[in-house]
Structure 1
């Protein structure tokens, strides 16, 4: 690109140098030819100026040539990528560029619907590295060790541990819930309630007058199934589940009878 710009500039400079000689050699009485040559001269000057600007721009974009010392430094760093990667002067953007140059292919194998995945990186030169990746999941049931988690929570509860104590115990042991970094007491209570292990109904539904112990609020029933509350409300409106309106003060609350759930309700609908 730089060479082409230089050649165009040289041709334009030649035409600019030739134009005045042509103009000066014409007979002054031949005004038509003189005006034409004068116009050609002005056009040659404009063309030379345009190519000069293009050449300057091409030169400014051309990277500077490295000195022999700089070439030796680059060669040494290329032979020791870890040192280059960990150098204090290497920025995050520099590391991204290094990774793009060195990484040829990435293969990710997800273990079912769980949070665990195996990451295989194929690097330049034939080096292959394997890593374990923990990906975000939406539900507790997707956790690979969900059964062990529930068993451990149940055991801790049987020892009269509070929900907060169970959460602290799990966090200290390195357990991680979906979508959040740590466990908390409300999360533990919801888990126990969904598994039928809660000893008390949630505060927000404890004052509802129930015809039987089987009746559940929409919130309790959705937590029991692991379905969204809007999904459960949709089933209620379409008659797929039976329910009745109760009141706490002036607040109407739906109560659902699980034993009267329509057989048309499926797990697929709840997901």
Structure 2
């Protein structure tokens, strides 16, 4: 199209100059291209547009042209063209306006409808004419193909370098590059020991959350490498987080593998970027044993399998990891009616989960029906524990001994880490001290700053030393309770360990899973449990159903008889103390209190201590004072001098007195008065 064919109505509209660079680096370094784009303004003036009608749209500097969703300037251009306000669109080349054929042809369609012209460095075009539109369409297609070719070349070079394991990628914590770009373990020994302890703790506990708790209980920090700022690349130590553990466990670099292309990046129509993790067989490059490792590849795959089993969204047929709840058979019980695994529900008392119920509710939830089976798990857990004690074998003892050795190794590794933390704090304090000593004393501004830094490092050192001393004391007390000589006699000691109330429930579950594969339970007139052991052996037991709810809340006759006997000599609060000393419990398994004793006494018609003493002839202080013609205060004073026998019947100290068998002589009364 020639400049003479420009119509007056087009000159009366705006001339929009669109300026774009793909990246901020190009904006800063490739300034010549930007200057050439701004120079198109002179072309518009030469074609007849006045300067006031020329609008420069440069809001998209630093934005890619692959999509129009995040380009404010291009969206404004399309809107102005669609409203018929633009007579000429200027761009250095088609690639500056759009790298997408859909965006480019959409702009051409609107320009053709509104009679808007397009100008680039090569010439002037009218999208309403066939020849110009065909040429512009070809240019748009070539611009899009050019971007694809450039990207393919770059990605091809990256992929070719990755296939030789020479591509330099971001390394996780615990690794670093040498000067010749080789991957090696971090030279910081504390960082290495922390990563190794993380893997050991996960294998011991079985879950990422338990690993975090173990580090927190041991007061162990976790390293992170700063990615920006003046201290970029330095290690900092903070509390471990759950995502730190997951990031380490999922990363194959720790198994010595070079991996490239583990994710796929997609961009939706709204411009949002979605990153999708790919399965291992879809990774573009995976080279095992490419550099030093913390764990083997088999251990890495075992960790991933354990994490998949721990996932709440994943419901495997095999076992889920033992947790803190008191249900001993959590994850092991199979319904004897439908064959599904039964879940656990707890009754809470005092904010704690104390009584488990096993429920088969999967089919009931999906069909809206009642559960197949539901029964109290307390008696069943106790029966399975008794079977375990009866089935104790030397093989199980050896397994527990291995667990003890692993525990000692974990404690030793944790202590080594804390010692290295103290060494790091000592070095930082010494360095700060040397800096302070070298400063000019007259330069008080610098001296004060260095002195404050030295004091802060000394406080950090004191905190690290204190934490080390506390943990050493705790570890010594724990190890002293598990001496090697006692562990060698596990056949005799194991029942005591199993029944010890201080033994963690999680450890009981772990021991049980070494022996028992699953337990199928059928509820009829009793609970019939079929136990399948790990070696393939089976055993069936029957467990009586607990009494009905009304009966379970009745106090045993023996307990009432003991309360009745104690009321002859004690008041309610003292009876509660004596019952607890004797080991009696309420129907709910709780200890006795004054209010409970009083309620049981009233409910069962038992006389209280006061009534029993009155029936025996004991009298109150007021009545005895009337008999002796003295005041009540005199009676209590005589009791303190042990001239009268009295017993307290309430918490205020009120007493009943044994009646006098013979009248007091005047001489005795005189001694008492004196």
TM range (shorter): 0.3 to 0.5
Rg larger in structure: 2
TM-score (norm 2): 0.17
Larger relative contact order, structure 1 or 2 (CA cutoff 8 Å, min sep 6): 1
